[in-house]
Structure 1
């Protein structure tokens, strides 16, 4: 008899743990969303400033733009790891491109944004492996003119709540 009671307690504890994990994951997802939104706002501001600066200040702004773009990719990696884990897919043994394609297949990523980012994986690899950073103008082109894709991605992620 006691085993049945203990089993019931364990089942209840497991359900409680699952509920806690779902809440934690939702909080993490919200933080990732907020971080991405903040980075994009910073990037918009930094790009406005960049055109008007020169010399040392322009170099400092260029580094900030580089960091903003790197943060966008990092937030995307965090987002993919979290949402794919929620559906039982672990990303440790998968490439960034594989994760994007999986998320696209499962409709966990804005379609146009995902396809655009796949095309820009080379830029992401520069940040990940820290070799031959692209010029600032090249990084600006990743975002400038494609702002709607990035903002659409944020709007899409908001629908997951």
Structure 2
């Protein structure tokens, strides 16, 4: 092991002191914001009354970044996108916000690798199939109640969540 001479010590110290001024504070989670690597990238599926309420609640959590919305109703989808875009455009003052994606088919949304979790607020008969597919796709899940219409569906949901090691929350 080489001895550390004065010149090498000063060089390393200067680099260490300069690093915080060279790295953007947002990358480190400054201003009471989590670092991007600590954010939960999320999407909302189902944008009726409960769905929009859930989307808005998650979106206002500093740990969450809502990146996509999905509904078969184009009007609901477009209204939700507008709300998400407006909120994040106000939060990100440097113009780096890229916008919220919209989907008509939940399977296309679940195919995205960058989404960590989904909020499912669809009509009740869709909860089981979307939850199971979300677990298979590697997404953590928040699902509105009732979780399912039958015990068999509920067991299938539990089995999928366990099999794929996902987090499941109901509300």
| TM-score normalised according to structure 2 size | 0.26
Q: Which has the larger radius of gyration?
A: 2
Higher helix share goes to which structure? 1
Q: Which has the higher contact order (CA 8 A, sep 6+)?
A: 1
